[in-house]
Amino acid sequence: MQQALESGGAPAGSLILVACSGGPDSLALASVAAHSARSGRYRVGAVVVDHGLHPDSAAVSAQTATTLTELGLEPVSVRAVTVNQTGMGPEAAARTARFEVLDAAAAELGAAAVLLGHTLDDQAEQVLLGLARGSGTRSLAGMPAQRGRYLRPFLGLRREETVEICRFEGLEPWHDPSNSDPSFARSRVRTQVLPYLEDQLGPGVARALYRTSRILAQDADYLDRVSVESFEQLHMIDGKDILLPEDALRALPPSLRQRVLALAAVRLGGEQPSFERIRATETLLERRGSAGPVQLGGFISVHRQVRGKSVPQGDPSYGSLVFRNNRALS
């Protein structure tokens, strides 16, 4: 735990918050973190997020807060959220609401880090879901051990180990019924798919998937860093548009080119484009059909620069792809 906090940049004496649902993973994490509080190395508090998705959620949150206070965590804050499922599934909506309230709590309380209780099993499930969706390297890398102030110190721990920690500490965790609800894809992976794979292929499947995520995380980090460097070298600004020279894009390996194209959309305020939209953008470089525009989701479009359009160097040219945020221009 201390190593995770130190590598995450949390200075000694700072406030650390545990995001706790009352389940075995986050309750075990709170218990371990409480030892850091008792050693005086860090101040440790907690945030309990009440999603309001089941009838007993308020009572569960209140009981969890009481347990955390008895463990010696201070402050312990219960935050109720409204899960807005407009435009997204229930899991994504709950995650969005949860991180919004955790961000707000961390800023309000001046926390140096927020601890999340995801385990090796969660990571294995994440990789399997990514494989099922046909995702790329970054998605298959799973959840990072650190993203900003968020730390996941239990990523190398099995879920059964967190249950054992709770048993050893005399804690009674709450078991969320949605974790076994077959209407959720993650629940089916947890209760049916992974157990089946472990039964058929051996008990090491979850650890193998976790190991795969760690290998791919290193690859994804490297490719992301190189793609940012390439984007910074290549892109030009023309008013509110981003221009990328076609010849330079063609010269890039596909793995970098696709990331550079996606970066242009993200820099303009768009979301990460799908692989299919990026491939459609790449067809503009072939100059065999339409000059676009290709819609990259949201209000971001990309087209080939037409002959006679001035580029920042001042000479008429048509050698760039133009990325535009059409909402910003409306």
Cβ-contact 50, 57 below 8 angstroms: yes
CA distances to 90, 286, 290, 294 from 241, rounded to whole Å, are 35, 22, 20, 15
- The answer to whether residue 252 scores a pLDDT higher than 80 is yes
DSSP string spanning 16-84? EEEE--SSHHHHHHHHHHHHHHHHTS-EEEEEEEE---STTHHHHHHHHHHHHHHTT-SSEEEEE----
Domain with CATH 3.30.465.60 in the chain: 235-329
The least confident of 140-144, 242-246, 311-315 is 311-315
pLDDT value, residue 318: 65
How many Å from the N-terminal Cα to the C-terminal Cα in the chain?
A: 50
pLDDT value, residue 7: 72
25 is annotated as contributing to ligand binding: yes
- 5 CA to centre of own chain: 19
- 15-43 pLDDT, tens digit each: 999 999 999 999 999 999 998 888 878 89
- The answer to whether residue 312 scores a pLDDT higher than 60 is no
- 119-130 pLDDT, tens digit each: 999 999 999 999
pLDDT value, residue 41: 84
Angle (nearest 5°) at CA 171 between 169 and 176: 140
Question: Domain 235-329 has what CATH class?
Answer: alpha beta
Confidence of residue 115 (pLDDT cuts 50, 70, 90): very high
Angle (nearest 5°) at CA 27 between 24 and 29: 105
- 51-105 pLDDT, tens digit each: 776 778 889 899 999 999 999 999 999 988 777 766 567 777 888 888 999 999 9
173 is annotated as contributing to ligand binding: no
pLDDT value, residue 2: 67
pLDDT value, residue 13: 83
pLDDT value, residue 17: 96
Question: Domain 2-213 has what CATH class?
Answer: alpha beta
Phi, psi angle pair for 317, to nearest 5°: -160, 170
- The answer to whether residue 315 scores a pLDDT higher than 50 is no
pLDDT value, residue 79: 86
26 is annotated as contributing to ligand binding: yes
- The answer to whether residue 108 scores a pLDDT higher than 90 is yes
Measured CA to CA, the distance from residue 70 to residue 68 in angstroms comes to 5
Provide the token pair at 211.
């190991």
Measured CA to CA, the distance from residue 17 to residue 109 in angstroms comes to 9
- The answer to whether residue 316 scores a pLDDT higher than 60 is no
| Average pLDDT of span 238-245 | 93
Confidence of residue 329 (pLDDT cuts 50, 70, 90): low
Measured CA to CA, the distance from residue 99 to residue 95 in angstroms comes to 6
Q: Name the pTM for this structure.
A: 0.84
- 270 CA to centre of own chain: 17
Domain with CATH 3.40.50.620 in the chain: 2-213
CA distances to 111, 169, 173, 316, 319 from 30, rounded to whole Å, are 15, 11, 11, 63, 56
- The answer to whether residue 133 scores a pLDDT higher than 50 is yes
Question: Hunting for tokens 């000059």 — which residue is that?
Answer: 291
pLDDT value, residue 85: 64
Phi, psi angle pair for 48, to nearest 5°: -105, 120
